Amino acid sequence: MKKYRLSALFLILFFLTGCSFPPVLRRLPDYESGELHSCSGGQDSTDYGKYIFSEVTAQQLQITGYFQKVTAADLDVLRQYVKDFEQWVEICSCANCDCDLAECYDFSAELLEAGDYFGLERDEPRGNFLGDYTIHYFDWDTQTLYYLRSNI
């Protein structure tokens, strides 16, 4: 019962703070620990989440409809999006944030490797601008889901 109260409180806090709760979490087993940080201004927002699981199987990831296995060919594209996201993290410091995103953010392009799992949802890029996107990146070795969302 306590677990459900904490989950409900967690959801309420996300809705009240304007955070974008990652819907993929509804399709995975319960996570052991998690955090979600958001910075928003007007209609723009940048969200970063990190969720640690005890054990998620490849089949559980694949049936969510969000994930595919990272191949060597995917790495350059993912690095481009991570680099873009990190630029938004650096400039995102505002009164509406629950923390300085640069202090909370601990993902790195160095974590990207073939054999992990990812999902990329995006609008069409516009010129040099990547558009709005969401990355779900599951680090297989650490059983950690990273959530990077840029709605700028």
DSSP-assigned states of every residue in 56-124: --HHHHHHTTS-EE--HHHHHHHHHHHHHHHHHHHH---TT-SS-HHHH----GGG--TTSEEEEEEPP
Question: What does pLDDT average to over the chain?
Answer: 83
Q: What is the per-residue pLDDT across 75-86, written as a single tens digit (0 to 9) for each?
A: 999 999 999 999
Model confidence, pTM: 0.81
What the block records as the tokens of 94 is 């505002």
Helix (H, G, I), strand (E, B) or coil at 144: strand
* DSSP-assigned states of every residue in 24-43: GGGGSPPPSEEEEEEEEETT
pLDDT band at 22 (very low <50, low <70, confident <90, very high): confident
- Here the tokens at position 46 are 């940048």
Residue 2 host element (H or E): helix 2-17
